[in-house]
Amino acid sequence: MPRPRLCRKIRFRAKVNYFKPQGIPMRNLKITSLTHEEMEALRLKNVKNLDQNEAAQKMNTSQSTFQRILSSAYRKISEALVNGNAIKIEK
């Protein structure tokens, strides 16, 4: 049985739910989903310019878990950009 998930602090809610390539109808696009945790990790690391230890503390998680969340977000965004997918931010 896996360990129960800790409650992570999320202090940011995106104002939009989707990003998509211009000129392509949504019905023709695959969707790549980002979680709120991934968005918060991206915000803390790239917008607030915090190092991983500080960002992990703000999210109430370990540095290694923060790195996994961040890596997952980078992989999903890269896949969406390269393949022309829409990006959905989960609620």
Q: How many domains does the chain have?
A: 1
Q: Report yes or no on 22 lying in a domain.
A: no
Q: What local confidence, expressed as pLDDT, does residue 9 receive?
A: 65
Q: Residues 6 or more apart from 16 whose CB is under 8 A from it?
A: 89
Q: Average of pLDDT values for 23-45?
A: 94
Q: What local confidence, expressed as pLDDT, does residue 15 receive?
A: 76
Residue 59's domain is classified under what CATH number? 1.10.10
Q: Average of pLDDT values for 51-56?
A: 95
Q: What local confidence, expressed as pLDDT, does residue 86 receive?
A: 96
List strand residue ranges (DSSP E) for 1-91, in order.
18-19, 31-34, 86-89
Q: What local confidence, expressed as pLDDT, does residue 39 receive?
A: 93
Structural domain containing residue 71: 35-89
Q: Report yes or no on 18 lying in a domain.
A: no
Per-residue pLDDT band for 46 (boundaries 50, 70, 90) equals very high
Q: What local confidence, expressed as pLDDT, does residue 2 receive?
A: 67
Contacts 24+ apart (CB under 8 A), 25-29: 26/86, 29/84, 29/85, 29/86
